[in-house]
A and B are shown apart, each in its own frame.
Chain A
Amino acid sequence: MSKDIAKEEAPSSSGVAPSESPTFASLRGVQWRINLGILPRSSSIDDLRRVTADSRRRYAGLRRQLLVDPHVPKNGASNPPNPVMDNPLSQNPDSTWSRFFRNAEMEKMVNQDLSRLYPEHESYFLTPGCQGMLRRILLLWCLRHPECSYRQGMHELLAPLMYVLHIDIESLSEVRKLYEDQFIEKFDGFPFEENGDAYNFDFKKFSDSLEDEIGSQGNAKKVCSLNDLDPEIQAIVLLSDAYGAEGELGIVLSEKFMEHDAYCMFDALMTGARGSVAMADFFASSPAAEFQSGLPPVIEASAALYHLLSIVDSSLHTHLVELGVEPQYFALRWLRVLFGREFSLQNLLVIWDEIFSEDNSPLNKVSKDSDYFSFKLEDSFRGGLIAAMAVSMILSLRSSLLATETATSCLQRLLKFPESINLKKLMEKAKSLQILALESNKAPFSSAFGGVYKCKKSPTNSLNVPSGLGSLKNNRSLLPDRYWEEKWRVQHKAEELRQNSLGKHPPSGKKRWVERIKFRLSRTESAPSPARNEKCKKEHHSIRRCLLEDLTKQLGLEDVAENGGCFEDSNLEDHHSVEVQGEGQNSANKGSIATIDDRCENGSGAVVSEEKSFFPDPPIPPGCSINDHEIYSEKSSPASNLSVDDNGDPRGRSPGDLPHRVSLPSDDVSHSPLHENESSGKTSSTKERRNLSGKFQWFRKYGRSNVNEETSDKHGGINEAAKPPVHDSKCSTADSSVAGTSCNSHPTGKGDTMDQNMMGTLKNLGQAMLEHIQVLESVFQQNQGQVGSLDNSSRNILVGKEQVTAITSLKELRKMSNLLSEM
């Protein structure tokens, strides 16, 4: 093992400051102790020895204090323990027995882990001496820090530290062999036959003995004094001098005190030594108070990794996010053990050299109430390097990851990091990324996430908060410019999709997308949120419901040939899921939600009424006029995102990509700090919404043609009855009237065969289209009525726009009706 040290000479670390301080490039143990902050970076050997001795004393004291033997009274015989308190069955948690039992349990856990430590290096690690030391260190540390008691993985952090110390001792013994005379105190071994005088020696005898010594050396090695030695060797000698400062306790490389030293290193590593990166945080399961996000630190750090990855290699990042590979699945292990499980021991030592040589002091204060969101992991050089290391590891697997299609195989590749990797390259890449990591962490919201491109690439789970807040403001400002672009694009897309689906069976890509949508729909069900009782919420969730219903109907149209049966089920479950999602929605930005309100109303009044048959909610207020402003702003927001989307995304527009891009702007509208689970559920719901909005145009086309078809339908009789009231009244009243009719129509569609389902859906579509037309007419009427009375300049501006948009939507309606008629 000591030969390995000679080969694996660590590159002399960059952090050691002045030139006169001894560099311990070959003594990893000492170097790491300096880097971790245990030993001072001072120049004098004496200082090192003193600090070493102090830390060892502390450890010894701790050991005596905490390793409890209940038989031995703690304070001598001064106060014999009260039997009532101190009996073995005592419930009192403070009694020595309780502590004893607790320690026994912890010890059992530690033992379990230790027995499985580094089986490939068992010659060292599984020796009882080493195991005993490791056990004691871990127990003591956990007793000292009861808030994060022993967790699996801590032993793997400790083991390399111990190993490094062991290597040092071995190299020391090598040096001893070579320079024996330096170590052996000349006067210690003298036999006592000599007369005791120190000064009275026989010169002749002395010269004889000197010659003997020289002669016996063999290969003409001169007796050299300490100062002639290599400075490194010199340092080693001085460090191991039994008579130096602090005596034996101060011998820096000492086998006797290996346990003490290892404990100090472990403690420094875990608590971060007042720095930014504290490994103990990664083992904590609950969110720490000082973290900005309400997440456990390790989750946040994993998010930091993904954030960095998104900056560096966005395609890989999106690929992983799409597959649903959450960063903490693999990053947990990477971070908790500092890559201990991914590399062989020798490689790991090299990596840790680099990591420890980085400074750990926090760079910017992670403040709570600024607009910033910065990751604590990237808040120091060391943390930045850790993040960069992880990202470079992910990048090294890039090609194999991009090739996989399922999350499990991705995770397999990530978790079984290949043995034969070019470590040097990995480290170089990591170094280069480190700068980037630190830079990116400094950016405030607006620049880190404001570029809409970036925001949609960020991991949707935990970073919804920042992306929402930042880009929402952007959306408002982008309103006028992007609106027409979006309109055109949406239409274009809809036409494209229409062409794709018409006449032929949908291509596999689209099918996959459809399945994904279905998958997401079913997933929305799984995120229950606390119900809120505000009236607007109920309105919102009714909107949500109807939007989802739109989509399901659309899906039903596509897939009814394949699985008409399950359509009904998905329809039903979407009712539940939508309700759940709706209730979870925050009302922070009521305007945008109200706009969805209206849009849905515009397009699918029949659907809304349908849901009313299930849930007797108050009808959507006829606030069309009031909310017109927001209708269009809402429409433009996805529009703006979509357009920027397309601008920023030069890749071809495949159907598989479409849902992703459409869904990404949903990130913008999610805007409240939610718990991770909630937000994931919500994002999927907002994804649904966006998907629906994107598909809305297409849907409307279908619906339109349905209207025509209905007249020839045998169920047309009922519809005839529905239509006149629809035509006669305005939007709000139309809702209630159609409610009645749809109550009739829907149950019939429900219980019957697939065909009737189809008929029912087509009917509903037709009704929706009718509603749409109706609303548009009413809008025009209102416009005409209100032009004179409106004072608000913005309203005036938008009135013109309203008209134009109404016209365009009418055109689309006509197209859809044509389509349906063709069907």
Chain B
Amino acid sequence: MVLVLALGDLHIPHRAADLPPKFKSMLVPGKIQHIICTGNLCIKEVQEYLKTLCPDLHITRGEYDDETRYPETKTLTIGQFKLGLCHGHQVIPWGDLDSLAMLQRQLDVDILVTGHTHQFTAYKHEGGVVINPGSATGAFSSITYDVNPSFVLMDIDGLRVVVYVYELIDGEVKVDKIDFKKTAASTHSAH
């Protein structure tokens, strides 16, 4: 029962001041085991705040990040799942499923998490999952209208992952749940 928090595109302090207070109250230290962040935090203080929630923090570089030393892509293994992380501005067209699937195959991961579009999406694709957690602060985006703050919490348990989506719509936190099961056959055999 591993809880993984996926979020990104906060754009603090340029486009947003802080996380919405309702989100902040929910994110308490001690519950979450890993945090994966797609990028565009943008400043060090945000990284420090995320570190207080959970010491295991993975960040990839977004185009507005101050810290230049974040990697472009990252892969990690949690339980039975392989996760891939990338900001997404490198994958053109932005937000296109097929291109993202290409990246997923390249990284050889089961779950790919990307951002940049500031819009939550979750696709099941070719035995894997592509998740976009959206923008946790609801920051402005030139490619998306009406950005709602959102983030994703994944509950990885054996061969099953439950994705909880938290969105702040009209001042209320709405939660949605999506179940993914990894079939044993989908693990790529060694070439």
Task: Give how many A-B residue pairs fall within 8 Å (CB-CB).
Answer: 33
Q: Give the contacting residue for A83; candidates B26, B28, B164; CB below 8 A.
A: B164
For residue B177, CB closer than 8 A to chain A, the reply is: yes
Residues of B within 8 A of A101 (CB): 30-31
Q: How far is the CA of A497 from the CA of B142 in the complex (A)?
A: 96
For residue A88, CB closer than 8 A to chain B, the reply is: yes
Q: Per-position contact with A for B148-162: 1 when CB-CB < 8 Å, else 0?
A: 000001010100001
Q: Per-position contact with A for B109-123: 1 when CB-CB < 8 Å, else 0?
A: 000000000000000
For residue B16, CB closer than 8 A to chain A, the reply is: no
B153:A87 contact, CB within 8 angstroms: yes
Q: How far is the CA of A83 from the CA of B176 in the complex (A)?
A: 6
Residues of A within 8 A of B157 (CB): 71
A91:B25 contact, CB within 8 angstroms: yes
A87:B31 contact, CB within 8 angstroms: no
How many residues of A are counted as interface, with CB atoms below 8 angstroms from the partner's CB atoms? Answer: 10
A84:B153 contact, CB within 8 angstroms: no
What interface size band does chain B fall in? 10 to 19
Q: How far is the CA of A88 from the CA of B27 in the complex (A)?
A: 10
B26:A84 contact, CB within 8 angstroms: no
Which residues of B (143-185) have their CB < 8 Å from a CB of A?
A: 153, 155, 157, 162, 164, 166, 173-177
Which residues of A (33-64) have their CB < 8 Å from a CB of B?
A: none
Q: Give the contacting residue for A88; candidates B31, B173, B174, B176; CB below 8 A.
A: B31
B166:A88 contact, CB within 8 angstroms: no
For residue B46, CB closer than 8 A to chain A, the reply is: no
Q: Per-position contact with B for A77-108: 1 when CB-CB < 8 Å, else 0?
A: 00000011001111100000000010000000
Chain B: CB-nearest residue to A89: B26
Indicate whether A83 sits within 8 Å of B25 (C-beta atoms), given known contacts A88-B164, A101-B31.
no
Tell me what chain B mostly uses at the interface: helix, strand, loop, or mixed.
strand
A89:B174 contact, CB within 8 angstroms: no
A89:B155 contact, CB within 8 angstroms: no
Q: How far is the CA of A87 from the CA of B28 in the complex (A)?
A: 14
Residues of A within 8 A of B164 (CB): 83, 87-89
B153:A89 contact, CB within 8 angstroms: yes
For residue B103, CB closer than 8 A to chain A, the reply is: no
For residue B101, CB closer than 8 A to chain A, the reply is: no
Q: Nearest Cβ in chain B — how far from A168, in angstroms?
A: 37
Q: Nearest Cβ in chain A — how far from B19, in angstroms?
A: 13
Q: Nearest Cβ in chain A — how far from B153, in angstroms?
A: 6
A87:B166 contact, CB within 8 angstroms: yes
Residues of B within 8 A of A89 (CB): 26-28, 31, 153, 164, 166
For residue B57, CB closer than 8 A to chain A, the reply is: no
Chain B: CB-nearest residue to A69: B1
Residues of B within 8 A of A90 (CB): 26
Q: Nearest Cβ in chain B — how far from A456, in angstroms?
A: 53
For residue B3, CB closer than 8 A to chain A, the reply is: yes
Interface residues, chain A, with chain B CB atoms under 8 Å away: 70-71, 83-84, 87-91, 101
Interface residues, chain B, with chain A CB atoms under 8 Å away: 1, 3, 25-28, 30-31, 153, 155, 157, 162, 164, 166, 173-177
- 13 additional A-B pairs beyond A83-B164, A89-B27, beta carbons within 8 Å, are A70-B1, A71-B1, A71-B157, A71-B162, A84-B175, A87-B166, A87-B175, A88-B153, A89-B28, A89-B166, A90-B26, A91-B25, A91-B26
3 closest pairs, A vs B, by CB?
A: A83-B175, A89-B26, A83-B177
Q: List 22 A-B contacts (CB under 8 A).
A: A70-B1, A71-B157, A71-B162, A83-B164, A83-B176, A84-B173, A84-B174, A84-B175, A87-B177, A88-B3, A88-B31, A88-B153, A88-B164, A89-B27, A89-B28, A89-B31, A89-B153, A89-B164, A91-B25, A91-B26, A101-B30, A101-B31
